[in-house]
A and B are shown apart, each in its own frame.
Chain A
Amino acid sequence: MSPDKLIYMANQIATFFESKPHDEGVRGIADHISDFWEPRMRRQFFQLVEAGAAGFKPLVLEAAPQIRRPAEA
C-alpha cells in the first residue's frame, strides 16, 4: 500500500478517537489497528513510524507502542 494511504487510514482512525477521553482514545486506536490490520499493514506501519515518516497524527504516534507487533515475515 502506498505510504500516504496507510498514513491516511491511521489518521482517519485517530480522528474518530480524538473525541474520546485521551487514554481511552489512545487505547482505542491501538486496539483498532491490532484487531483489523493484517500483519503486512502493521509491519509497514511500524517501518514508517520508525523511519520517522511525516504526516501521522500525534495520537497515532502515541498509540503506536500499544499496537501489537506482527511476527517477522
Chain B
Amino acid sequence: MKDFIIPDRDFGTPESKSKVMVTLNVDGFDVTVPEGTSVMRAAAEAGITVPKLCASDNMAAFGSCRLCLVEIEGRNGTPASCTTPVAPGMKVHTQTGQLKQLRRGVMELYISDHPLDCLTCSANGDCELQDMAGAVGLRDVRYEAVENHFTPKNTAGELNRQWMPKDDSNPYFTYDPAKCIVCSRCVRACEEVQGTFALTIEGRGFDSRVSAGAASDSFLTSDCVSCGACVQACPTATLQEKSVIDIGTPERSVITTCAYCGVGCSFKAEMRGDELVRMVPYKHGKANRGHSCVKGRFAYGYASHKDRILNPMIRETINDPWQEVTWEEALGFAARRMKDIQAKHGRQSVGVITSSRCTNEETYLVQKLTRAVFMNNNTDTCARVCHSPTGYGLGQTFGTSAGTQDFDSVEQTDVVVVIGANPTDGHPVFASRLKKRLRQGAKLIVIDPRRIDLVKSPHIEAAHHLALKPGTNVAVVTSIAHVIVTEGLADESFIRERCDWDEFQDYAEFVADPRHAPEATELLTGVPAAELRAAARLFAKGGNGAIYYGLGVTEHSQGSTTVIGIANLAMLTGNIGRPGVGVNPLRGQNNVQGSCDMGSFPHELPGYRHVKNDSAREVFEKLWGVTLDHEPGLRIPNMLDAAVEGTFKGLYCQGEDILQSDPDTKHVAAGLAAMDCVIVHDLFLNETANYAHVFLPGSSFLEKDGTFTNAERRINRVRKVMAPKNGFGDWEVTQMLANAMGAGWTYTHPSQIMDEIAATTPSFAGVSYEKLETEGSVQWPCNEAHPLGTPLMHVDGFMRGKGKFIRTEYVATDEKTGPRFPLLLTTGRILSQYNVGAQTRRTANTVWHEEDVLEIHPHDAEVRGVKDRDWVRLASRSGDTSLRAKLTDRVSPGVVYTTFHHPSTQANVITTDFSDWATNCPEYKVTAVQVSPSNGPSDWQEDYASQATLARRILPAAE
C-alpha cells in the first residue's frame, strides 16, 4: 500500500534494537546501522530502495518474493536482502546487470499469472506490483500461462477450476483471489501484528491460496476480527477497502486521533476533497505503532449517517414534538431557561455533564461554563460511571490519578496481570501489542469471572486464570498480597526507599492475618488457593510485573478499594517506576483521561486540584474575573437525586447518553423528567434527548481541531479534515451558549483554549499546539521539569512523596443473591460495538453484533428450560428486560453476562443504584438476577420504545 502526501517510508524489515553498530557499504556509500539490521534496511537507511514485494517493516523478513536480491562481494549467489543481516565491511551492490535480469525474470513470472486490468483495477495508483513492474523495467511478458488463477473461463469457454470468485462477505473490504501473488503479507500481518491467526496459506506450489478460517469459511465467518492489518499489508488489489473501490484513491492525508477507545490510536484520514476515503493507522503513532481495530479503521460511517441531526431544535415540554429553529433562537431559548431556573431555584440548581468523547478543549470549556458562568461546581463526566475509583485510589496511594506507563512498556514486561478487563474486545490494539509480548514468552495471569479470549486463544494461554465470583476482587487482591508478604516475596529495599515504612508495616500486619489467606478466602471468591498462591509467586518473582485493569475493577461497591489494593501490590513487589511494570488502567472512552484532567469532576479544578484550595481557585479567578465556589458540586447520581427532589432543574449534557449508559434507567428517566431545561448537545437524538428541551447538533471528530488524552496520558492532536456538517465545532457551540448567557468569551481557535489550559494547569504547562506539531504527541506531566512529557511516572519518587500503603478490608456487596434472584449478572463490551453504540450501531459493525445477548452457562440454562437463542426475561430488584440467550461455558455456573450496546435491550433497567463507597461509581458488574423463559420484549421495553418514538417527532421547519 502506498502513502499519500505524508510518506511513511517502509524500510522493509523491522528496526534492530542492538546497541552494537556495524558499518557496511551499499552501492559505494558507507552506512552505519545496528547489528542485526537487514541489508535491505541498511540500504534504505542509505536512501536506496531495493525492489521488494513480500517485505514490510512491521513484520519479520520472509524472503519469498525473490525480488530484493543483491550481490555481496566475496559471497556466492544473489541473496535476498531482507533476510541477510549486515556484517562489518560488507560491500553490497543493489543494481547490477545480473540483478536487473533476475528481477525482471521474477516480475515476468508474477505478471504471467496476474490480470492486466490496471486501468480499471481498484488498486490503480496504489499497487506495489504495478510499482515494482515499473521499477524493474518490465516491458514484455513472454510466458503465456497454460493455467492461471485469474480468468473465470478458459478460451474454450470452460470453467477455470483455479479461479475463485471475490469474497465480499466482510462489510469493509473484499478478497479477490484473482489478484493475489501469494506474498503472505496478509497472513503474517494477521499473525505478527494482530495476533489472531485467522489467515493461512492453503495448498502448495501453484495451488497456494490465502484462506480465512476453514475451507467452508468466508472472511466474515472466519475468526477474522476485521482489524484491517491484512488489507494494509496487501501490495495488490487482493485485499482492498470497499471505500476505495467505491471512491478511488485519496489525494491527501491528515493525521488525527481515533475517537473510540482509550488506546487513542493515531490514524491518517485519507481524503479526496472533503470525502473521507479511508482511515489508515499511522505508523508513527506512539500508542498504536501502525495498528488498528475494526472500529477505528472502518467504523467511521456514523459521522455521515442520515440520523445525524444538523439543525438546532427546541420544544416547550418533552411531550411536544421537536421544532427546528435557528442557532440564535435555540441558544436564546436555552440561555433564558437556564437563567430563569437559577433566578427561581438558586445558583446551584443547574449544571453540566462534560463529554469523554469530545476534545480536551471542549471539555475544559464546558466545566468553565458551569464554574465561571453558572457560578457553581456542578460538573461531572462519564468517568463517574467508569474510572472515578481509579482517580481516587491512585490519587491516594501514588498521588496522581492516571496510569503509570506508556503502551510501549508492555514490550518489556515479563508477567502481565489483567484484572477485570477484556482487552481483545475493549482495547484491541493494546491487546495485539500485549499478545505479541506473550508470544515472546511473557507470562499472563487473568483475574476475571469470565473466560475472556486472552485466557486461551491461538498461541496464547494464561498461566493462571483466577475465575473469581463477581464482587470479590478485594478479597482476591488482598489474598495475593497476603501470599507475597507471608512468603517473604516483597521487595523490601524498594519499599524502604520509596514508601512510608510505618504504613507498610501496618499494612503488612493487616494482610498477614490468616483471614486473608487464600485458603480462607477460597470459600467466598471461588478461586482455588493453590492457584492463587502460584499466581502471587509468579507476579512477585517473575521479573517485570505489570498490572492492567478495567471496569471489572472499578464498577463495584468496593471499586476504589480494589484500585488501592492493586497499587499496594505494585508497591509491594517494586513494580513501579521503570519500563515493563506499573499500574495501567485501561480507560474506556477516547478522552476520558482528558476529561478528568480538564476538571470535569465537581470537586476538582483542571489538574486535579480540589476546589477548596484557595491557591488553585485563585489562578482561575484572576484569569476569568469571577469568584469561584469553594464547595464541591453534585456528581451525576447526586444531580439525579436532587432533580427528583426538585432542587436541580437544568442540565447541559454534551456528548453523553446518561439515560442509556447510567445505571437504574428508571431513576435516570425520573430525574431527567423532573428538570425544566435539559440541553442535549450530540450528533444524534440519543436516549437522553427523549427528555430534552433543547437539542444542539454536535460535530464529529473529523470536523474540528483539538486534542484527546489517552490512557497513557498521551495528548494527541485531533485535526479537522472536513467542515462541520452542523456548522460549528462543539467548542464553538459551548462558547455560543456561554455568550448567550453573557460570558463574553472570544476564542477563535482551540489552540487558544489549550494555551489557557497550559497557563492554569501545572501538569500541562509545557503543552502547546506548536509542541504537538513538532513532537507528534506528549504525555503529561509536560512542564519545565519534563519539557517533552513523561512516558513513565514515579521514576525517582512518587508524585505524593512516599508511596502510601492502605488497608483494604473486603466487604461483601449488599447486592446479594437469594431465592428470588439466584444468579449474578455482570456486564461488558464486545469488539465491534462501542459503549452505548450510538456510533457503532450506525455502521456496518452491526453485522457482528446486531443485538445484546445474555451469556448463560448450559447448566443454569437447562434447569430453567432455556435453549440457545431463546428469548429470556432477565429480572433484578430494579426492573426487568428481555433478550436472547446464548449458552456458553465462558461464564461459570451462577454467573450471567451481557453487553449494553443496544438501547432496545436496556441492560441498565436491571442494574441497581449500589455504587462505589468513595466515588459513587455504579456497581454495574454485580447484579443479582433471575432468568426465565419469555415470549419477547417486556412491557417496559415496549413502553420505552413508544415513548422514544413519540419523543423523537420533529415538526417540519416553519416556512
Q: Which of B631, B919, B920 counts the most A-chain CB atoms under 10 A from its CB?
A: B631
B457 CB to nearest A CB, Å:
37
Instruction: Assess whether B807 is in contact with A19, with CB atoms less than 8 Å apart.
Output: yes
Chain B residues with Cβ below 8 Å from A16 are: 560-561, 809, 811, 917-918
Instruction: Assess whether A19 is in contact with B809, with CB atoms less than 8 Å apart.
Output: yes
Instruction: Assess whether B918 is in contact with A13, with CB atoms less than 8 Å apart.
Output: yes
For chain A, residues 1 to 27, give those with C-beta under 8 angstroms from any C-beta of chain B. Answer: 1-2, 5, 9, 12-13, 15-16, 18-21
Chain A residues with Cβ below 8 Å from B632 are: 35-38
Instruction: Assess whether B638 is in contact with A18, with CB atoms less than 8 Å apart.
Output: no
Instruction: Assess whether A38 is in contact with B647, with CB atoms less than 8 Å apart.
Output: no
Instruction: Assess whether A19 is in contact with B510, with CB atoms less than 8 Å apart.
Output: yes
Given A16-B917, A19-B510, A20-B807, do A38 and B557 touch, yes or no (CB 8 Å)? no
Q: How many residues of B contact A (CB 8 A)?
A: 31
**A55: Cβ under 8 A from any B Cβ:** no
Instruction: Assess whether B811 is in contact with A41, with CB atoms less than 8 Å apart.
Output: no
B442 CB to nearest A CB, Å:
34
Chain A residues with Cβ below 8 Å from B634 are: 38, 40
Q: Which of A20, A32, A39 is B631 in contact with, Cβ under 8 Å?
A: A39
Instruction: Assess whether B918 is in contact with A5, with CB atoms less than 8 Å apart.
Output: no
Chain B residues with Cβ below 8 Å from A9 are: 917, 920
Question: What is the bound-complex CA distance between A5 and B510, given in angstroms?
Answer: 30
Instruction: Assess whether A40 is in contact with B603, with CB atoms less than 8 Å apart.
Output: no
Chain B residues with Cβ below 8 Å from A36 are: 603, 632, 635, 918-919
Chain A residues with Cβ below 8 Å from B560 are: 16
**B642: Cβ under 8 A from any A Cβ:** yes
Question: What is the bound-complex CA distance between A1 and B641, given in angstroms?
Answer: 5
**B94: Cβ under 8 A from any A Cβ:** no
Question: What is the bound-complex CA distance between A41 and B639, given in angstroms?
Answer: 11
Q: Chain B 597-631, CB within 8 Å of chain A: the 1/0 string? A: 00000110000001010000000000000000001
**B88: Cβ under 8 A from any A Cβ:** no
**B939: Cβ under 8 A from any A Cβ:** no
Question: What is the bound-complex CA distance between A36 and B913, given in angstroms?
Answer: 18
Question: What is the bound-complex CA distance between A36 and B602, given in angstroms?
Answer: 8
**B544: Cβ under 8 A from any A Cβ:** no
Q: Chain B 504-518, CB within 8 Å of chain A: the 1/0 string? A: 001000100000000
A39 CB to nearest B CB, Å:
5
A-B contact count (CB 8 A): 60
Chain A residues with Cβ below 8 Å from B918 are: 13, 16, 32, 36
Chain B residues with Cβ below 8 Å from A12 are: 557, 917
Q: Which of A18, A20, A35, A40 counts the most B-chain CB atoms under 10 A from its CB?
A: A40
Q: Which of B348, B506, B642 is A1 in contact with, Cβ under 8 Å?
A: B642
Instruction: Assess whether A38 is in contact with B633, with CB atoms less than 8 Å apart.
Output: yes
B373 CB to nearest A CB, Å:
19
**B784: Cβ under 8 A from any A Cβ:** no
Which residue of the partner chain B has the closest CB to A16?
A: B917
Chain A residues with Cβ below 8 Å from B301 are: none
**B645: Cβ under 8 A from any A Cβ:** yes
Instruction: Assess whether B561 is in contact with A40, with CB atoms less than 8 Å apart.
Output: no
Instruction: Assess whether B642 is in contact with A15, with CB atoms less than 8 Å apart.
Output: no
Which residue of the partner chain A has the closest CB to B806?
A: A20
Instruction: Assess whether A13 is in contact with B642, with CB atoms less than 8 Å apart.
Output: no
**B346: Cβ under 8 A from any A Cβ:** yes
Question: What is the bound-complex CA distance between A36 and B560, given in angstroms?
Answer: 14
Chain A residues with Cβ below 8 Å from B811 are: 15-16
Chain A residues with Cβ below 8 Å from B346 are: 73
Question: What is the bound-complex CA distance between A21 and B503, given in angstroms?
Answer: 11
Q: Chain B 806-836, CB within 8 Å of chain A: the 1/0 string? A: 0111010000000000000000000000000
Question: What is the bound-complex CA distance between A1 and B557, given in angstroms?
Answer: 19
Chain B residues with Cβ below 8 Å from A37 are: 632
B830 CB to nearest A CB, Å:
32
Question: What is the bound-complex CA distance between A5 and B486, given in angstroms?
Answer: 39
Question: What is the bound-complex CA distance between A39 and B348, given in angstroms?
Answer: 10
Q: Which of A15, A32, A70, A71 counts the most B-chain CB atoms under 10 A from its CB?
A: A15
For chain A, residues 34 to 73, give those with C-beta under 8 angstroms from any C-beta of chain B. Answer: 35-41, 70-71, 73
Question: What is the bound-complex CA distance between A41 and B348, given in angstroms?
Answer: 12
Given A16-B809, A36-B632, do A1 and B913 touch, yes or no (CB 8 Å)? no
Which 4 pairs between the two chains have the least Cβ-Cβ distance? A12-B917, A19-B809, A1-B641, A19-B807
Interface on B for A, CB 8 Å cutoff?
A: 346, 348, 378, 506, 510, 557, 560-561, 602-603, 610, 612, 631-635, 638, 641-642, 645, 647, 807-809, 811, 913, 917-920
Q: A5-B641, A16-B560 are in contact. List 5 more A-B contacts (CB 8 A).
A: A19-B510, A20-B807, A35-B632, A38-B631, A38-B638
